[in-house]
């Protein structure tokens, strides 16, 4: 079960983070030709986060050893979605 300290930590992080709606980059949309790996917000032209995607090689082989394309897509969607839903989630957990 989540503790009050953890809830307070999440509220503090949320308040300090870039405000507004966050949007996953085009990599999360298989129908889109662009494969940008960024999380974007309405208040900035640049990315506020960028995910990693495997280049198929281990670090020891000069690669990036990042998550597979499927996981990376889920990571991109999760980061943006969690930011957007966290206020309501915290309110629900705290009974507000």
Return the closest-CA partner of residue 24 out of 74, 73, 69, 77: 77
Size of the site for Zn ion (CB under 5 A): 3
Provide the minimum distance between the beta carbon of 10 and Zn ion in the complex, in angstroms, as a whole number. Answer: 29
Q: Rounded distance, CA 53 to CA 69, Å?
A: 6
Q: How many helices and strands (H and E) does the chain possess?
A: 2, 3
Residue number with CB closer to Zn ion (3 or 33): 33
- Binding flags for Zn ion, 7-46, as an x/- string (CB under 5 A): -------------------x-------x-x----------
Which residues of the chain form contacts with Zn ion (CB under 5 A)? 26, 34, 36
């Amino acid at each position: 079960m989540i503790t009050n300290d953890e809830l307070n930590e999440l509220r503090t992080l949320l308040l300090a983070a870039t405000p507004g709606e966050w949007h996953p980059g085009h990599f999360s949309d298989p129908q889109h030709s662009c494969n940008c790996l960024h999380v974007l917000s309405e208040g900035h032209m640049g990315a506020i986060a960028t995910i990693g995607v495997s280049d198929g090689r281990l670090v020891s082989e000069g690669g990036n050893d990042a998550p597979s394309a499927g996981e990376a897509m889920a990571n991109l969607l999760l980061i943006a979605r969690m930011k957007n839903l966290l206020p309501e989630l915290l309110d629900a957990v705290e009974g507000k």
